[in-house]
Amino acid sequence: PSDAIYTVAGNLCEAGDLFAINYLMPKAQEGDVLAILGAGAYGAVLASPFNGRPKPQEVMLLEGEPVLISNGAGEQGIANRA
Protein backbone atom coordinates (compact mmCIF):
# COMPACT_ATOMS: atom_id res chain seq x y z
CA PRO A 1 0.00 0.00 0.00
CA SER A 2 1.09 3.58 -0.62
CA ASP A 3 1.38 6.31 1.97
CA ALA A 4 -1.45 8.63 2.99
CA ILE A 5 -1.82 11.74 5.15
CA TYR A 6 -3.81 11.25 8.37
CA THR A 7 -4.90 13.16 11.42
CA VAL A 8 -4.97 10.77 14.38
CA ALA A 9 -7.36 11.70 17.18
CA GLY A 10 -8.55 10.10 20.37
CA ASN A 11 -12.17 9.23 21.00
CA LEU A 12 -12.94 12.00 23.50
CA CYS A 13 -14.34 15.38 22.48
CA GLU A 14 -11.43 17.51 23.65
CA ALA A 15 -9.60 20.17 21.64
CA GLY A 16 -6.19 18.72 22.51
CA ASP A 17 -7.23 15.15 21.77
CA LEU A 18 -4.94 14.89 18.74
CA PHE A 19 -1.90 12.63 18.45
CA ALA A 20 -0.84 13.62 14.91
CA ILE A 21 -2.05 16.29 12.48
CA ASN A 22 -1.58 15.87 8.72
CA TYR A 23 0.95 13.09 9.30
CA LEU A 24 2.31 10.99 6.42
CA MET A 25 2.30 7.26 7.19
CA PRO A 26 1.59 3.95 5.44
CA LYS A 27 -1.98 3.70 4.15
CA ALA A 28 -4.18 2.06 6.79
CA GLN A 29 -5.97 -1.19 6.07
CA GLU A 30 -8.87 -2.72 8.01
CA GLY A 31 -7.47 -4.62 11.00
CA ASP A 32 -4.27 -2.53 11.26
CA VAL A 33 -3.09 -1.52 14.73
CA LEU A 34 -1.48 1.84 15.46
CA ALA A 35 0.83 1.99 18.48
CA ILE A 36 1.08 5.40 20.16
CA LEU A 37 3.95 5.37 22.63
CA GLY A 38 3.21 8.66 24.37
CA ALA A 39 -0.56 8.75 24.81
CA GLY A 40 -0.93 11.08 27.81
CA ALA A 41 -4.27 10.54 29.56
CA TYR A 42 -4.98 7.52 27.33
CA GLY A 43 -2.13 5.68 29.04
CA ALA A 44 -2.30 3.95 32.41
CA VAL A 45 -0.23 6.52 34.31
CA LEU A 46 -2.66 9.40 33.71
CA ALA A 47 -5.82 7.38 33.16
CA SER A 48 -8.94 8.32 35.08
CA PRO A 49 -12.66 7.66 34.76
CA PHE A 50 -13.08 11.00 32.93
CA ASN A 51 -16.30 11.02 30.89
CA GLY A 52 -17.06 7.50 32.12
CA ARG A 53 -14.19 5.98 30.15
CA PRO A 54 -12.66 2.76 31.47
CA LYS A 55 -8.92 2.58 32.09
CA PRO A 56 -7.04 1.30 29.05
CA GLN A 57 -5.64 -2.14 28.53
CA GLU A 58 -1.85 -2.25 28.25
CA VAL A 59 0.11 -4.35 25.80
CA MET A 60 3.85 -4.99 25.91
CA LEU A 61 5.94 -6.35 23.05
CA LEU A 62 7.98 -9.34 24.21
CA GLU A 63 10.41 -10.56 21.57
CA GLY A 64 8.22 -8.90 18.94
CA GLU A 65 4.97 -10.50 20.13
CA PRO A 66 2.15 -8.58 21.89
CA VAL A 67 1.42 -9.60 25.49
CA LEU A 68 -1.53 -8.20 27.49
CA ILE A 69 -0.07 -6.96 30.78
CA SER A 70 -3.03 -5.03 32.22
CA ASN A 71 -6.73 -5.45 31.62
CA GLY A 72 -7.58 -1.87 32.63
CA ALA A 73 -11.18 -1.67 33.81
CA GLY A 74 -12.13 -4.42 31.38
CA GLU A 75 -15.18 -4.60 29.16
CA GLN A 76 -17.50 -3.78 32.05
CA GLY A 77 -15.96 -0.32 32.47
CA ILE A 78 -16.33 1.79 35.56
CA ALA A 79 -20.13 1.62 35.77
CA ASN A 80 -20.09 -1.97 37.03
CA ARG A 81 -17.17 -1.78 39.45
CA ALA A 82 -17.97 -2.61 43.06
Q: Which residues is 3 bridged to in the sheet?
A: 26
Per the annotation, the verdict on 13 as an active-site residue is yes
Strand ranges in the chain using DSSP code E only, listed in sequence order: 3-9, 18-26, 58-62, 65-70
Catalytic residue among 1, 2, 13, 63: 13
Give the rounded distance of the alpha carbon of 76 from its chain centre: 18
Distance (Å, rounded) from C-alpha 17 to C-alpha 3?
23
Distance (Å, rounded) from C-alpha 63 to C-alpha 77?
30
Active-site residues, by number, are: 13
